Amino acid sequence: MSKTNPGNFFEDFQVGQVIEHATPRTVTDGDRAAYGSIYPTRFAVPSSAVFAASVGLERHPVEELIGFHIAFGKTVPDVSLNAVANLGYAECRFHQPVVPGDTLSTKSEVIGLKQNSNGKSGVVYVRSTATNQRGEVAIEWARWVMVHKRDQDAAAPEAVVPELAKAVDAEDLIVPKGLNFSAYDFTAAGEPHRLADYEVGEKIDHVDGVTLTDSEHQQATRLWQNTAKVHFNSEVRPDGRNLVYGGHIISLARALSFNGLANAQLIAAINGGAHTAPAHAGDTVYAWSEVLDRVEDVAPGVGALRLRLVATKGRDESMTLRGDDGKYAPGVLLDLDYWALIPA
């Protein structure tokens, strides 16, 4: 019997099944530095322990996406090693900041299955939960993935498609314990804009672009212990070019969004997301945001902004999400919908 992990195929999943994912991982300040060397991030809370303390946080958190990528990476060997495509995310909430010294473990429950009509693959829905060394929930999210069948003749399971919220309700957002933006230092944070300065429907061109290199996206993806071959092994790629991990584009776009959204300090939830086109080394990635909603008073001095974050290959000053045909405009790489906490 082979000792290597073949990953799960569609028929290996059952609704209700719980998978404990391997290799818990301890987060350190080394991850903070590595992240900062790969993404042009400057948000004041993860950048400065002094700033974090000044807004009521007892310990100095790392970027939320560090926790997310690590927690997500754990699920890859069990959930998506044989994936055709990562179809979507929903209901992702950050329950508490991740700080150096935290050890994250992830488990997933299969909450839905639906075989495709072609009989070759199916969609697997999982709800994943990352807990820390105290057994407390750090992050939870749902995602659905199209997975190959091992045996096309295997019987289709009963279709179960979970109802997933289009967006996390503002009332369900979790604010880190102690967070208080009442004495927020806008000068130190880098921009003067507060919640009330953003209008629903407003679009922000984040202006800056970053040209991707192979070693940077691979270093990031490895840091998260994400083992998907397509990112690392150019020999298995039809075009000989490594595919950039979708999460790399999320982190890059989030970092670029500092320029215009410097006070959108913390990610509280991810409502949904689609990786709409592949990215490769040599592509120059830009980002723009659209304000989708805004909510006051989620904590002292703290409001929440619901934002669409769009990454594009090449700059699109028109900030066009979709063409007249309803399809994503050429160049759109990522369409992410999330809630950020910002001074009210």
Footprint on residues 277-336 left by its own copies (CB under 8 A): 284, 314-315
17 touches its own copies by CB under 8 A: no
The smaller minimum CB distance to its own copies, of residues 51 and 125, is found at: 51
183 touches its own copies by CB under 8 A: no
Instruction: Choose which of 13, 39, 328, 339 interacts with its own copies (CB under 8 A).
Output: 39
Instruction: Choose which of 151, 153, 171, 235 interacts with its own copies (CB under 8 A).
Output: 235
Query: What is the DSSP pairing of strand 302-313 with strand 210-211?
Result: unpaired
DSSP state letter for 35: H
The smaller minimum CB distance to its own copies, of residues 147 and 252, is found at: 252
Smallest gap from residue 124 Cβ to its own copies (A): 20
By CB under 8 A, the residues from 54 to 93 that bind its own copies are: 60, 77
Q: How far apart are CA 292 and CA 199, in angstroms?
A: 9
137 touches its own copies by CB under 8 A: no
Q: How far apart are CA 264 and CA 106, in angstroms?
A: 27
Q: How far apart are CA 164 and CA 91, in angstroms?
A: 7
CA nearest neighbour of 177 among 297, 57, 49, 48 = 57
- 315 to 205, 310, 324: CA distances (angstroms): 9, 11, 19
The smaller minimum CB distance to its own copies, of residues 314 and 323, is found at: 314
259 touches its own copies by CB under 8 A: yes
Query: What is the DSSP pairing of strand 210-211 with strand 266-275?
Result: unpaired
Q: Please say whether the beta carbons of 59 and 97 come within 8 A.
A: yes
Checking phi first, is residue 265 left (phi over 0); if not, alpha (psi -120 to 50) or beta? alpha
CA nearest neighbour of 215 among 244, 239, 235, 237 = 244
Smallest gap from residue 125 Cβ to its own copies (A): 22
Instruction: Choose which of 260, 272, 273, 331 interacts with its own copies (CB under 8 A).
Output: 260
Instruction: Choose which of 15, 17, 34, 148 interacts with its own copies (CB under 8 A).
Output: 34
Output the furthest CA–CA distance in the chain (Å, rounded): 63
Smallest gap from residue 163 Cβ to its own copies (A): 30
28 touches its own copies by CB under 8 A: yes
Q: Could you tell me which residues come within 8 angstroms of residue 197 by beta carbon, excluding any fewer than 6 positions away?
A: none
The smaller minimum CB distance to its own copies, of residues 116 and 129, is found at: 129
36 touches its own copies by CB under 8 A: yes
Instruction: Choose which of 17, 116, 129, 218 interacts with its own copies (CB under 8 A).
Output: 218
Instruction: Choose which of 229, 322, 323, 327 interacts with its own copies (CB under 8 A).
Output: 229
Instruction: Choose which of 17, 116, 129, 227 interacts with its own copies (CB under 8 A).
Output: 227
38 touches its own copies by CB under 8 A: yes
40 touches its own copies by CB under 8 A: yes
200 touches its own copies by CB under 8 A: no
23 touches its own copies by CB under 8 A: yes
Both tokens of 335, joined, read: 């369409």
Q: How far apart are CA 48 and CA 45, in angstroms?
A: 6
110 C-beta neighbours (distance < 10 Å), count: 21
95 touches its own copies by CB under 8 A: no
By CB under 8 A, the residues from 139 to 178 that bind its own copies are: none
Q: Please say whether the beta carbons of 321 and 243 come within 8 A.
A: no
